[in-house]
Amino acid sequence: MQDCFGHICVAEIYCPPKLKISAKQFDELFNSLGTRFIAAGDYNAKSPQWGSQLTTPKEKELTNQYLRTTLHRITGGSDTYWLSNPNKISNIIDFGVAKNVNSNLIKVVTTNLSLDHSPTIITLSDTPALTYVEPRLVNTRTNWVKYHSRFDNTFCPKIILKTKEDTDNVIDYLVATIKKCAELATPTANSNETRTYKQYNSTILQVLRVSQSRLAEV
């Protein structure tokens, strides 16, 4: 397939569960797919890092590939094997491996059908996928020293817990105190401040470098 940055090879993968596959074989496979690809399917590779109960040899070999190369894993985060059967131990063994494809352009959805393998749909867009971000009381600019000091000086309930109502009142007071202290310790955004976040993959950087060199020659 083709996108605005060039050709992307899309491959379907199946690794038999009892077949031993070495890192060299994975390396040969991924090298045969070119410089940009998405190779997705049933890898039969398990790891606690992805929610499984154990680590299989295939996952160890794949991890070596991740560490030595620019490959990255594509997964929706949900179990894909025996997700529909509560009597089975579910795992994530259906996923994708990508190279030089911006992860911000990829969306993964796992559908829960009455099958041993839950279908996983990978969508590649030409614009970044928007994700909902939960509202937060704090951020990276929160002054935690100020927060703890304010909380210690503010939260001092003098209520004797005898009834359910007493407990509810203390909980409400605690939540309100935490919220107030967090707001006071977290600076508000400056309307005149502009913060730009840019995330480029290696392909985009290469295009930018070529463009800059051509402009310098003009």
Q: For residue 129, what is the DSSP state?
A: P
pLDDT over 90, % of the chain: 11
* Predicted TM-score (pTM) of this structure: 0.53
| pLDDT of 3 higher than 60 | yes
Pairing of strands 94-99, 106-110: unpaired
| pLDDT of 62 higher than 70 | yes
Most confident of 73-87, 170-184, 204-218: 170-184
| Cα angle 193, 199, 200; round to 5 | 140
What does residue 211 show for φ and ψ, rounded to 5 degrees? -60, -45
Q: Could you tell me the two tokens for 83?
A: 């997700």
Domains within the chain, CATH numbers bracketed? 2-124 (3.60.10.10), 143-213 (no CATH)
pLDDT at 206: 58
What does residue 136 show for φ and ψ, rounded to 5 degrees? -130, 145
Residue 92, classed as helix, strand or coil, is coil
Average pLDDT, stretch 192-217? 53
Which pLDDT band, with edges at 50, 70 and 90, does 191 fall under?
Answer: very low
Q: What is the chain's mean pLDDT, rounded?
A: 77
What does residue 2 show for φ and ψ, rounded to 5 degrees? -125, 140
Which amino acid belongs to residue 155? F
